[in-house]
Structure 1
């Protein structure tokens, strides 16, 4: 049996890729008042994004419990090759901590490595894909762990937020707080740095912000993986992928959509790019 790869739904992995590589994504929880949904299971992306801007109750999110991880790990416990569990930055969520607690409960039953991606969305997703491909090729747990830990520093994510109000409402703004007061009427650009969102600039038009994303990607050498992620603008994501074709082949660019857990904090109109660069 191959090493099993576990991640969480903030990886925003397309279902076809998860199926192909046998990746398991443990859902976070999204709450509208008393109504609780498992991300990607109990609420569809379309239903969530229709509800988000009009519901008088702003949703909040919570990490999976240690028991949620334990349930999955126990099902995989017969796999003697082990489990690699890669998750959203622990500066943004308690998901890593829940996974680590479950790992301790499984001690002596199956080898588990829990890795902090220091990223989110397809920044995390690209790491899970790399791990999944290595597992399919027969790599062992220690080899996969070592390569993924090296790859963490190769992952970069930058994005356009149509507004910071959703990020602020969810308390996930991190160092972006410095921008909050001044960017409510412009298009903020944020980047994941050291595992949290940090401001990298602001522009006054959507087109200029997309141009900034294109130029940012062009600044990387040896791009080995690339993803464009959106919340509500699939056509825009396709166009952006086309503009990046000179940097990385368009047919290999993964276009994905933020699920409800991240969409709660990102909001409609969000557009991100995740890059893995070996240079």
Structure 2
């Protein structure tokens, strides 16, 4: 059985990994300051967004997740012909309507795929499974990574689905923003009260950065640090501890809203890399999606891993 993967563009993964596993992308349209971007995780469009240096204006951006009709088209024109089963992984349904769009599209796809496959002389049924990773950005990576491992091992769709639901429930996504004013402005744009004006003003005045966590679809602060670099050191140090304690998936994904070369120079990153190498864990560096950058600001770091339930200590 041919089993493939599709993700929404806000799932942060490295381009090389996506190409290696032929992962399809359900794009997001981003409109900001008169410019329109198709966030499909392609490097050229991502670089165009960065080069335009929209900066603080991006907080007013409008984002449009892949419409139901476009999801249907992607599947009926392409994926039902190339695969016999496709797992669609999306960022948490609590933060984006894309999971709902894909679920709605699946009814039409599963009703009409036979005609497309018969016209191409492809025998047999087609299956489609939608998985809510219950996380955001780099936090979605462990479930996608685990799916590729299980597909390569020849596991059944039923076994893969059960395992991915477990990994989604035990995935942790962390975020360290650079600009609290930006984060507060974007939150206000989306009617999200998670970052108040007072905390943004106080944090900026004292250079205090929050460490935010997404776990099982819920996002909130789990710590505060003085300065972005100290925050990075705390976050990478925590991740190294989790690597040494044992992960459910041998992956730590780190995404950055800008030039990935910056990661190497952040405090604590060398220690995280060493811990991953010592314990056979892949350290994946991923460019943050355009959608991610307009939501949390350029220069932010997100980190994802899957582990047994625990309390973060910062």
Normalising by structure 1, we get a TM-score of 0.88
Deviation at 1:218, TM superposition (A): 3.7
CA distance in 2, matches of 1:194, 1:126: 13
Match of 1:58 among 57, 60, 83: 60
Range with greater deviation from structure 2 (2-11 or 246-255): 246-255
- Map residues 25-36 of structure 1 onto 2, 5 A cutoff: 25-36=25-36
What secondary structure is seen at the aligned counterpart in 1 of 2:179? Answer: coil
**2:101 counterpart of 1:73:** no
Match of 2:246 among 200, 209, 222: 222
Unpaired segments ≥5 residues, structure 2: 114-125, 310-314
What secondary structure is seen at the aligned counterpart in 2 of 1:89? Answer: coil
Match of 2:305 among 269, 275, 278: 275
1:175–1:201: structure 2 CA closer, same or farther, 3 Å change rule?
A: farther
Deviation at 1:198, TM superposition (A): 0.5
Unpaired segments ≥5 residues, structure 1: none
1:82–1:113: structure 2 CA closer, same or farther, 3 Å change rule?
A: same
What secondary structure is seen at the aligned counterpart in 1 of 2:210? Answer: strand
What secondary structure is seen at the aligned counterpart in 2 of 1:10? Answer: coil
CA distance in 1, matches of 2:106, 2:11: 20
Deviation at 1:204, TM superposition (A): 2.2
What secondary structure is seen at the aligned counterpart in 2 of 1:90? Answer: coil
2:227 counterpart residue number: 205
Deviation at 1:207, TM superposition (A): 2.7
2:117 counterpart residue number: none
- Map residues 98-137 of structure 1 onto 2, 5 A cutoff: 98-108=101-111, 109=113, 110-137=126-153
- Map residues 16-31 of structure 1 onto 2, 5 A cutoff: 16-31=16-31
Instruction: Give the structure with the larger helix fraction.
Output: 2
CA distance in 1, matches of 2:156, 2:165: 14
**2:276 counterpart of 1:248:** yes
Normalising by structure 2, we get a TM-score of 0.79
2:166 counterpart residue number: 150
CA distance in 2, matches of 1:211, 1:55: 29
Deviation at 1:167, TM superposition (A): 3.2
CA distance in 2, matches of 1:194, 1:153: 6
1:270–1:101: structure 2 CA closer, same or farther, 3 Å change rule?
A: same
1:231–1:80: structure 2 CA closer, same or farther, 3 Å change rule?
A: closer
Runs of 4+ aligned structure 1 residues displaced above 6 Å come to none
CA distance in 1, matches of 2:36, 2:43: 9
1:175–1:55: structure 2 CA closer, same or farther, 3 Å change rule?
A: closer
CA deviations on 1:191-218 (whole Å, 9 max, x unpaired) are: 1133142112222222321222133224
What secondary structure is seen at the aligned counterpart in 2 of 1:44? Answer: helix
CA distance in 2, matches of 1:155, 1:5: 19
Asked if structure 2 preserves the Cα contact closer than 8 Å seen for 1:238 and 1:255, the reply is no
2:86 counterpart residue number: 83
Deviation at 1:174, TM superposition (A): 4.8
RMSD: 2.6
CA distance in 2, matches of 1:44, 1:80: 27
1:260 counterpart residue number: 290
Number of residues paired by the alignment?
279
Range with greater deviation from structure 2 (172-181 or 124-133): 172-181
Range with greater deviation from structure 2 (20-29 or 106-115): 106-115
